[in-house]
């Protein structure tokens, strides 16, 4: 594994983190792969993101919003910094720019592969062959390399060669069919959830491969499909179909098997009620001043409430509309009934709980721009927090990585830059 003293970030901090001696080569673009590698970087790995000179990851230009920086020109031809999209999934990485269309650049890439512990890629099969990244060749270069391949539909099956974007996958995996109002149109989730879920599964796969190396099982090869990961995320809904053979329906903000478990309009907003068991139901009824509902046999147990959902929910909707959100919060808190107000994101990131967890941190990039980014949700008790590093500028660390990983000197780096192989 890598010499932690050569990695980005304070060595004394990195070496105390779980992946402080791991090198990750990030050949992925857009979201799923970058999320995977960001998690590994959060855990201390030296993650090197490889991008095309002059353009970089497509998401650098997916805006607005951009991080404005008219003085330097930034990553966008209109004079902006990188997009908020790019910033969201590339913290704690170093960035290099290599033109893989050139033979000399591919020689550099081969050298990086030999020194890496994990490689993450999301190329289509044709590009894998073109750049010499097929699994057999990768393991010839580095027999211990953990390879994590991410694609829309996986490397097998009739759709193996097809590109897959998050919206397509949400549609094909069935997620859109169960999302949206009961009588409305199918809806996607508000973020690219298929990509995010796949990125997390990919990070788990990489960690499993690293663990296997310690048991003599080097050279693990992981095949992650957005379609598979999205289908797996449907858990109880899919299992209900497997058990009953029936097609699930949309429930809006409600739950198919728990009642009441949904959002209600109050006199001045919206509040989520999450009654998970019959004891909580009884406490809710007392808090609402509705002993009649508590005594009603139609609602005595959760299966009863599910069977009589429509009548009960209509009654609760009338009840919630009579009081303001804060009044309901006080009553439900006093009764220890799970609930939450529906808040916009700008309020959510400003709550005392979010601040206490240090989920938003301020960083400064190489252009001197100071801005806020999300931090890792992983907190290690007894270990120092790795300072969040700003997402890299395009090619920001090319020279440093070639020196540290490959031992290149200034003349070798200059030669590669002069011929356009690196930037």
Q: Which residue numbers are catalytic? A: 195
Tokens of 33: 């792969």
Tokens of 258: 């728990």
Beta bridge partners of 339: 273
Number of neighbours of residue 351 by Cβ within 10 angstroms: 12
Element (H, E) at 46: strand 46-51
Instruction: For strands 94-97 and 118-121, give the pairing.
Output: unpaired
Residue 91 near residue 373 (C-beta atoms within 8 A)? yes
């Amino acid at each position: 594994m890598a010499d932690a003293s050569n990695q980005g970030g304070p060595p004394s901090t990195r070496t105390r983190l779980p992946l402080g001696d791991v090198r990750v080569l990030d050949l992925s673009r857009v979201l799923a792969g970058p999320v995977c590698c960001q998690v590994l970087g959060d855990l201390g790995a030296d993650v090197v993101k490889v991008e095309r000179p002059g353009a970089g990851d497509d998401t650098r230009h997916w805006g607005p919003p951009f991080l404005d920086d008219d003085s330097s020109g930034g990553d966008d031809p209109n004079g902006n910094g990188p997009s908020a999209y790019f910033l969201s999934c590339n913290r704690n990485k170093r960035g290099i720019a290599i033109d893989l269309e050139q033979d000399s650049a591919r020689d550099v890439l081969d050298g990086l592969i030999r020194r890496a512990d994990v490689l993450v890629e999301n190329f289509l099969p044709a590009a894998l062959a073109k750049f010499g990244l097929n699994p057999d060749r990768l393991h010839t270069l580095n027999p211990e390399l953990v390879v994590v391949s991410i694609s829309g539909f996986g490397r097998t099956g009739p759709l193996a060669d097809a590109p897959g974007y998050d919206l397509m996958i949400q549609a094909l995996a069935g997620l859109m069919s169960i999302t949206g109002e009961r009588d409305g149109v199918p809806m996607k989730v508000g973020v690219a959830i298929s990509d995010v879920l796949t990125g997390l599964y990919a990070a788990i796969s990489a960690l499993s491969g690293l663990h296997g190396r310690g048991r003599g099982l080097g050279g693990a090869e992981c095949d992650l499909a957005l379609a598979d990961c999205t289908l797996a995320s449907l858990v109880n809904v899919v299992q209900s179909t497997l058990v009953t053979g029936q097609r699930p329906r949309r429930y809006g903000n409600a739950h198919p098997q728990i009642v009441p478990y949904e959002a209600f309009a109050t006199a001045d907003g919206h509040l989520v009620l999450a009654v998970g068991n019959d004891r909580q139901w009884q406490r809710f009824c007392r808090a609402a001043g509705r002993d009649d509902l508590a005594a009603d046999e139609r609602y005595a147990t959760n299966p009863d409430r599910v069977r009589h959902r429509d009548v009960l929910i209509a009654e609760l909707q009338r009840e919630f509309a009579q009081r303001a959100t804060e009044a309901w919060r006080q009553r439900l808190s006093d009764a220890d009934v799970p609930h939450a107000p529906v808040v916009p994101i700008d309020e959510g990131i400003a709550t005392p709980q979010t601040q206490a967890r240090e989920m938003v941190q301020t960083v400064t990039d190489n252009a001197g721009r100071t801005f806020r980014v999300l931090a890792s949700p992983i907190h290690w008790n007894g270990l120092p927090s790795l300072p969040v590093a700003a997402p890299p500028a395009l090619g920001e660390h090319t020279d440093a990585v070639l020196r540290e990983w490959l031992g290149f000197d200034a003349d070798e780096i200059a030669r590669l830059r002069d011929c356009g192989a690196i930037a």
